[in-house]
Amino acid sequence: MKLSIKIPLLLGIVVWASIVSVLFVIELKVRSTIEKSSLDSLSGEVEANAAFLKSKLDVHVEVLAEVAARIRVRSMDWSIVQPALKADVARLGALDLSMIDSMGVARYVLSDTIINVKDRAYFQKAMAGEKVVEMVVSRVTGKVVTVFAVPIRKTEDMNSPVVGVLLARKDGAQTLSNLVEELKTPYESGYAFLLNEEGTVIAHRNQELVSKQFNPVMEAKKDSTLKSLARMIASAFKEKNGKSKYNYNGKTLIGAYSEVPGFNWILFLNIEKYEIENKLSQISMAIIWIGIICLVVGIIVAIGVGRSIAKPLIRMVDAFKDITQGEGDLSQSIPVHFKGEMGDLASYFNKLIATLRIPISEAKATVDRLVSISEELSSINKQLDVGEATGEAANSTRDGTKESSPEILRIGICILELSVMAKQLRQTMDKFKV
């Protein structure tokens, strides 16, 4: 394989391998970074949403507390309280309102029902001065309801004794679920749900789960497909805040969870993992296109660099070939356009050629002189031959002349051979151009 092809090819392979390796590492890094950043983003969002949910619940509670602070309500006189509260039922978005006395006897405004709720946790907390939101099964309707309970104090003073409890009963499936559905996430598949301290769903986009009081931890004992979800929930109640990954209904979900401030509830914010994978696919395609562009540019540069490296080497090879096999042109030289080893190689080649020119030039001059001498000797030899022929024609009687004829013949032959050799040597030396 020619050097002009081999060097660009090798450089191209190196560029290709380097770019592929770099892109592979970048994609792995991007994948881990994207998933981590998505989970970090969800963690921040779920904490913010938990605080937002708390503020929305506080609004509901404070509005009810304002009603409880009215003089007519503080009178605890049912004949006064009942007509006074009828208009507030619809205004507060409640199914019904109830006044509960200190003995736990609850009287409902619209249904005019009387029941005892003394054993209810929300009643006990409210009588202790707390403002309470709970999900319970109503003893009036037998359905899951959300109850808001606030203390009724004897006077406007917040430190005055609690004389009763004002309760708002709202739709259990809708009230908290609607609040949770208002929570925002930038992901299309994202949704939130809320569990109470027992692990029961109290808010979900599938309100049927709320109505059935679905408890994943308990249900996982009967349904093995819920074990992944149950493990995640168990971990969430231990850690209170963190990140989640589990399988549910054949889907892989990732997300984050956070405790709702002031409540023993955990808010979960989840997305389907395919959304992250779609983003990764888009990024991967972008990386591939960038890689292709870089590869093409890299190969072009490699070819250019390879040729620039091979060009002076090829010129030197051609020059040596011309000297050894061709016309022996020693007048040529290689332009030195490079720095470093390639420039040094070209420079030393030129010095070598320059060094060879001197002895070749001297040899050519010597050969020229030798040819000139051989030509003179040849001319003298011809003159001797002519003289010998003339003496023989006159029948010279001198023995010296006869004896010298063979010697003269041998000298003539040597001169002739010398002349031929000199001319051949001259032809050879003429091939070198200096």
* Contact between 242 and 270 (Cβ < 8 Å): no
> Full-prediction pTM beyond 0.75?
no
Residue 323 has what pLDDT?
63
pLDDT of residue 51: 93
Q: Which residue has the higher pLDDT, 417 or 253?
A: 253
Residue 343: pLDDT band (50, 70, 90) is confident
Q: Give pLDDT, residue 433.
A: 57
Residue 397's pLDDT band, with cuts at 50, 70 and 90, is very low
CA distance 81 to 71: 10
Residue 422 or 256, more confident:
256
**CA diameter of the chain:** 187
For residues 264-284, give the mean pLDDT.
83
From 150, 130, 152, select the one nearest 75 (Cα to Cα).
152
The band of 70, judged by pLDDT with boundaries at 50, 70 and 90, is: very high
Q: Assess whether pLDDT exceeds 50 at residue 249.
A: yes
Beta strands at 132-137 and 144-153: parallel, antiparallel or unpaired: antiparallel
**Mean pLDDT for the stretch of residues 225-238:** 93
pLDDT above 90 for 242: yes
Q: Averaged over 324-339, what is the pLDDT?
A: 62
Mean of the per-residue pLDDT values of the chain? 82
User: How much is the pLDDT for 74?
Assistant: 95
Task: Check if the beta carbon of residue 253 is closer than 8 Å to that of residue 38.
Answer: no
More confident of the two residues 324 and 87 = 87
pLDDT, tens digit, 9 for 90 and up, residues 179-202: 998 887 778 888 999 999 999 999
pLDDT of amino acid 291: 75
Look at 337-341, 355-359, 363-367 and tell me which has the smallest mean pLDDT.
337-341
**Does the structure show a pLDDT above 70 at 432?**
no
Confidence at residue 358, expressed as pLDDT on a 0 to 100 scale: 72
Contact 107, 98 (CB under 8 A): yes
Residue range 23-54, pLDDT digits in tens? 777 767 766 677 777 788 888 899 999 999 99
Q: Which of 125-134, 326-335, 345-354, 387-396 holds the top average pLDDT?
A: 125-134
d(CA 126, CA 221): 35
Checking 340-348 for CB contacts under 8 A at 24+ apart, the result is: 342/309, 342/312, 342/313, 345/312, 345/313, 345/316, 346/312, 346/316
Q: Which amino acid is at 157?
A: D
Q: Is it the case that residue 333 has pLDDT exceeding 90? A: no
More confident residue, 289 or 147: 147
Instruction: State the pLDDT at residue 165.
Output: 97
CB 176 within 8 A of CB 203: yes
Reported confidence tier of residue 90, pLDDT bands at 50, 70, 90: very high
What does the pLDDT average to over 165-176?
Answer: 93
- Alpha-carbon distance 337 to 331, whole Å? 19
Ramachandran assignment for 199, one of left (phi > 0), alpha (psi -120 to 50 degrees), beta (any other): left
Query: How far does Cα 126 stand from its chain's mean position?
Result: 54
Which domains are delineated in the chain?
20-282 (3.30.450.20), 341-430 (1.10.287.130)
